[in-house]
Amino acid sequence: MKKYYSTTVQELGEQVNAFKGAGMLIMFNENAPQELREYCILHRGNKLEDTVQPGDILKLGDTSYKVVFVGNQVQKNLKDLGHITLRFNANKDGESLEGSLYLEEKPVADVAPGDEIAIYRP
């Protein structure tokens, strides 16, 4: 597999786990606006080298998820701001929220500072 995106978790906002219970996580690079920080996984080293596509694999710490659907602003937002929403629902409702990356439906992994978030092309 070819890794084409990598970043490192720096900090978890106080409300990250509230969203985890709803099957989603919000990512933002470490210079996120103050009003959003408490809801986000804050990360550093936002390196994107290819286009995110269905069928790719997102790895959150040690857990892998297949990418099911890519919102039309994911590429730009991820590259420019490190800001996307990870949705762990297999897009079963047919949503297409612009800044969301829809992943297979399985339990949301715990994430901690120092963990890598990466995307691979199989």
pLDDT tens-digit readout, 42-100: 999 988 999 999 999 999 999 999 999 999 999 999 999 999 999 999 998 888 899 99
Beta-carbon contacts of 22 under 8 Å, excluding residues fewer than 6 positions away, are none
- Please identify every residue annotated as catalytic: 43
pTM value > 0.85: yes
Average pLDDT over residues 103-119: 96
**Mean pLDDT over residues 24-29, rounded?**
96
Which numeric CATH code is attached to 2-121? Answer: 2.40.33.40
Both tokens of 103, joined, read 């992943």
What dihedral do alpha carbons 7, 12, 18, 22 form, nearest 10°? 10
| Cα(89)–Cα(102) distance, integer angstroms | 7
38 pLDDT band, cuts 50/70/90, is very high
Q: Which residues contact 54 (CB under 8 A, 6 or more apart)?
A: 67, 68, 69, 70
Beta bridge partners of 6: 47, 118
Q: Which residue has the tokens 């970043």?
A: 7
- The model's confidence at residue 121, banded by pLDDT at 50, 70 and 90, is very high
Whether residue 24 is predicted with pLDDT greater than 90 in this model: the reply is: yes
pLDDT over 90 at 5, yes or no: yes
